[in-house]
């Protein structure tokens, strides 16, 4: 599989499997792509994964927030989540974020390991954060210490 990080553009009002991708890659070399075009990995229909993130101004130390990152179960374990995370971090840094936070399910060891590999550290636990009652771990990364691969 030759997966490439690309911003998606919705074509019609269908589900994620009916979305197409533009031809402009969302790579570390192009961190100025707008955050309103979240990067996704296109491995052919349907969309293999996506990430949603934003930047909030905070008195000179803007905060990036990775709100959602997901990879279709059929293509997990192929490095797609890692590509999405790195593309999002590069864009967040370009947009002025100096620190990035995210929430992850306490029991999602695979995701916690991925985030740890990129330099995220656990900050605190939020009890019963998810609708099913599972706790969240808030993790943070200082982008000044992050080096893209």
**Positive/negative CA dihedral, 57, 62, 68, 72:** positive
Residue 31 neighbours by CB under 8 Å, 6+ apart? 90, 91, 93, 94, 95
Which residue is associated with the tokens 């939020």?
126
Per annotation, catalytic residue among 115, 129, 134, 144: 115
- DSSP states of 71-113: E-GGGTTSSHHHHHHHHHHHHHHHTT-SEEEEEEETT-HHHHH
Of 113, 115, 82, give the one whose Cα is nearest residue 3. Answer: 82
Per annotation, catalytic residue among 30, 37, 103, 106: 103
* Residue 30 a catalytic site member: no
Rg of the Cα atoms in the chain = 15
State the Cα angle at 32 between 31 and 34, rounded to 5°.
Answer: 115
* Residue 115 a catalytic site member: yes
Active-site amino acid positions: 103, 115
């Amino acid at each position: 599989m030759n997966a490439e990080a690309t911003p998606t553009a919705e074509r019609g009002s269908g589900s994620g499997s009916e979305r197409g991708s533009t031809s402009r890659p969302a790579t570390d070399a192009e961190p100025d792509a707008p955050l309103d075009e979240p990067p996704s990995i296109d491995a052919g229909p349907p969309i293999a994964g996506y990430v949603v993130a934003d930047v909030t101004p905070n008195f000179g130390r803007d905060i990036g927030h990775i709100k959602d990152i997901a990879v279709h179960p059929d293509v997990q374990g192929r490095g797609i989540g890692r590509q999405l995370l790195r593309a999002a971090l590069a864009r967040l840094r370009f947009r002025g974020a100096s620190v990035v936070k995210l929430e992850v399910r306490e029991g999602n060891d695979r995701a916690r390991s991925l985030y740890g590999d990129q330099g995220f550290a656990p900050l605190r636990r939020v009890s019963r954060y998810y609708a099913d009652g599972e706790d969240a771990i808030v993790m943070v990364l200082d982008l000044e210490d992050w080096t893209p691969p």
